[in-house]
Chain A
Amino acid sequence: MGIYVIRVPDIGEGIAEVELVSWHVQVGDSISEDQHLADVMTDKATVEVPSPMHGKVLSLGGSPGQVMAVGAELVRLEVEGEGNLKENSAPAPASQAQAATVSVATTAPAAPAVPAAPAAAPKAAPARASAAAPRAPAALRKEGERPLASPAVRRRALDMGIDLRRVHGSGPAGRIEHHDLDAFAAGGGQVQGVGGSQYVERHGEEQIPVIGLRRKIAQKMQEAKRRIPHFSYVEEVDVTELEQLRQQLNKIHGATRGKLTLLPFLARAMVLALRDFPQINARFDDDAGVVTRYEGVHLGIAAQTDAGLMVPVLRHAESLDLWQCAAGIARLADGAKTGKLGRDELSGSSITLTSLGALGGLVSTPVINHPEVAIVGVNRMVERPMLRGGQVVARQLMNLSSSFDHRVVDGMDAAQFIQAIRALLETPALLFVE
């Protein structure tokens, strides 16, 4: 019998640390080669860590939410024959692993994306500790189960006209104590026998640790807003003709090529407009002081998932026709929801398009997907009365709300860029003229 230590794998691309998302094994489990051990997350990709050996799990190196350095001990296995650990040293405690995280992160070559991470690592533990604090409600009563309270508390409740089923029990096993009754009565609970129960003050609070994707989102958003002086520009676009074209195309080709939404047209309009505004299709490395402009348009598509916001990337949008573009967007949105996207599909965008569809509202102030320099937001399309040649006519109107990095994009350029998109969308034939 030997001890085999599985370490946090190097996922590549200079990643120095990962966040442990979840365990798929427990201490004491017998596992086989290639069995799924854990999920770890880098940037925005979640990676499965397989076991390289058969064996029995002796210890786990961390708990979900913990940021671990590449090379830190992940799982300790008891294996047949010789392991990879000679001396029978104790598993590294979690704090040691965290210390390693910090040192690795700080000594790592100064990659622009990393600096926020070391601060996050020590924070992980306190966040979890507070979640486990006794303030969290004890075992909740099931439907129809009797509230737990001593005879004296029950009698007082009857005397006060309080239904104990409405009282929070802070005692062991959720038992309602005298002070719970006092708190309930003090909160106006006593009058609720007469009136309704909807207007009772509620005193519960719940602490949700910000871990996993949510932490990544929080870091990115904070980074973007802290570093980038945003300015937003809103313009109204008459999409009546575009909408007619879209419906016409769907009528003719919908059955064979798939239905088109407005997004592929917007993507096409952006591709064309960006040819004249290369400074907007760019990434700004502000630490190095370099703006990188791209010939290709790698279009980030903001997508809502159950876990939170993700921005998968439609690579080389300039090379796709309307239907290829539509298929690409559909595949990315689906992949983001099911977590099936690879790392290259989750990074490297040069500009982002964000749309909430029918929920788009009138105006939005999108946050730039750092280190990009521009983001185009789509608002709701709505039929409105417009004056055309002195006549009131019904037109389909839609706002575009866009934000730009004012350090590298001037207001005039941004306005002209949006006007170019508007011109293309209002005269959709231009979309197909090279």
Chain B
Amino acid sequence: MKELTTKLLIIGGGPGGYVAGIRAGQLGIPTMLVEGASLGGTCLNIGCIPSKALIHAAEEFDRARHQAAGSQLGIRVSDPQIDIAQTVRWKDGIVTRLTGGVGALLRKAGVQVHKGWAEIEDGKTVIVKPPEGEPLRVRCEHLLLATGSTPVELPSMPFGGAIWSSTDALSPDAIPKRLVVVGAGYIGLELGMAYRKLGVEVTVVEALQRVLPTYDEELTQPVLQALQKSGIVLHLGCSVQGWDAEHGVHVRNDARAEEFALPADRVLVAVGRRPHTTGFGLESLQLDMAGRHVAIDAHCRTSMRNVWAIGDVTGEPMLAHRAMAQGECVAEQIAGKNRRFEPMAIPAVCFTDPEVVVVGKTPGEARAAGIDCIDAAFPFAANGRAMTLEAAGGFVRVVARQDNHLILGWQAVGRGVSELAAAFGQSIEMGARLEDVGHTIHAHPTLGEAVQEAALRALGQALHI
């Protein structure tokens, strides 16, 4: 077997792995990266990017249909049609462009990419099995695990055929007539809402009593209203029992102890993601685990010396931007720098319509942490730009310490608020106080004015409410 030696070997070419590779290459570390599928990982291929493409296409189609039905803007369109195969081709084009870009960046940084699946022999040796040809053995000083996560499967409804994982839902061969979405987390709702906009009858089944149960209720209220208004049927507090092609999804309402069937052409199971820790010899390293994921410290070190782990394989929050920051952190440490992964906040965005953004602490979390805090919200109903965008629902909320007005958290819900995450994250990382944001001129007319007004309102000085 052919043997290669390198300083750093990265398993996984997703956002964590490829960023670690680029940075390591920039720092002059001999680096190899093993990827079995396509560079870019879940995020670029079957996650963030394709889902946002599909959501955008669905929104455009929905807008056209809305205008066909008589828009208050006075725009008239007649009978819009969607060629879903073309939509998927367009989406795939974006994905190809981006993954190709990642390959080019890695090449530019001098990282050797090996296509194939990795099999860990020990903490310093990995066998790479390419799709064709001889496997090769790579010996390394540092091993970085960036293997990501996979969608959780329900035993009663294994993926395949009519049962979709999020991956399948992003490459539909045709638009189904009836779609049942299992799970009202962000993946289920983002895709469920997109399919609704494509004209599909969508039903969402959720075991808990709320949609987006990981977000606070005030924040998810506008999303719930939008779901109901769009005609999506919600079955909360219900569990799914199984599926057959004739009756559809078998659902049980646990509180009322009643069972019923939801007819469906396709079922999207979006009940979470699980760290990818099996099938490549990781068990043989006997690393310390924290539940299902690999346990790491503030330096992204595992329990084995010079074996590092980043991204979804290290657990929640399973977010691409967290993995990227961790990848950079690890590469710089291998280059001999002193680094810790200690962000003040990791933003989380939910691309439903309206969008939800959470950065830092919510009022509930701050108070639970024993902090004396103030919070204030500014509604988009009082924001001129939101009105001109027909998006006057939702609000921006700020949480700050009572004693020195240090900003602890931002939450927003509304159309297009995902872009506000940049301002939110920056103010928290910079240690801004309410006065800093409140006394910064925010351009008019923009949604960002609601950020300034929320800070002013927390200070008791809001101008436009």
Contacts and interface: CB of A to CB of B under 8 A. Distances in A.
B338 A159 contact: yes
Contact of B337 (A150, A159, A172): A159
B287 to A, nearest CB: 26
A138 interface: yes
B340 A148 contact: no
A171 B435 CA distance: 13
Given A172-B433, A175-B431, A139 B404 contact: yes
B79 interface: no
A161 B405 CA distance: 30
A107 B354 CA distance: 76
A164 to B, nearest CB: 10
A173 B405 contact: yes
B348 interface: no
A173 B429 contact: no
B340 A171 contact: no
Interface residues of B, number: 17
Given A149-B431, A151-B429, A172 B436 contact: yes
Contacts of A171: 431
Contacts of B431: 148-150, 171-173, 175
B46 interface: no
B430 interface: yes
B250 interface: no
Interface string A141-174: 0000010111100100011010000000001111
Given A148-B431, A150-B430, A151-B429, A173 B404 contact: yes
Contacts, number: 35
B339 A139 contact: no
B37 interface: no
A138 B403 CA distance: 11
B344 to A, nearest CB: 8
Contacts of A154: 342
Contacts of A139: 403-404
Contacts of B429: 150-151
Nearest to B400: A173
A304 to B, nearest CB: 36
Contacts of B342: 146, 154
A320 B92 CA distance: 107
A172 B429 CA distance: 14
Contacts of A146: 342, 344
B339 A138 contact: no
B406 interface: yes
Interface in A25-44: none
Contacts of B405: 173
B337 A158 contact: yes
The listed residue with most A CB atoms (<10 A of its CB), out of B403, B430, B431, B435, is: B431
A159 B333 CA distance: 11
A261 B255 CA distance: 81
User: Which of A138, A159, A172 has the most B CB atoms < 10 Å from its CB?
Assistant: A172
B408 to A, nearest CB: 11
A138 B430 contact: no
Nearest to A139: B404
Nearest to A161: B338
B278 to A, nearest CB: 35
Interface string B310-354: 000000000000000000000000000111101010000000000
Contacts of B337: 158-159
A389 B118 CA distance: 102
A362 to B, nearest CB: 50
Interface in A316-362: none
A158 B340 contact: yes
Interface in B361-408: 401, 403-406
B282 to A, nearest CB: 30
Interface in B256-278: none
A208 B377 CA distance: 41
Given A150-B429, A161-B338, A173-B431, 12 more contacts: A138-B404, A139-B403, A146-B344, A151-B429, A154-B342, A158-B337, A158-B339, A159-B338, A172-B433, A173-B401, A173-B404, A175-B431
Interface of A: 138-139, 146, 148-151, 154, 158-159, 161, 171-175
23 contacts: A146-B342, A146-B344, A148-B431, A150-B429, A150-B430, A151-B429, A151-B430, A154-B342, A158-B337, A159-B337, A171-B431, A172-B404, A172-B431, A172-B433, A172-B435, A172-B436, A173-B401, A173-B405, A173-B406, A173-B431, A173-B433, A174-B404, A175-B431
Closest 8 CB pairs of A and B: A173-B404, A148-B431, A175-B431, A173-B406, A158-B338, A139-B404, A150-B430, A151-B429
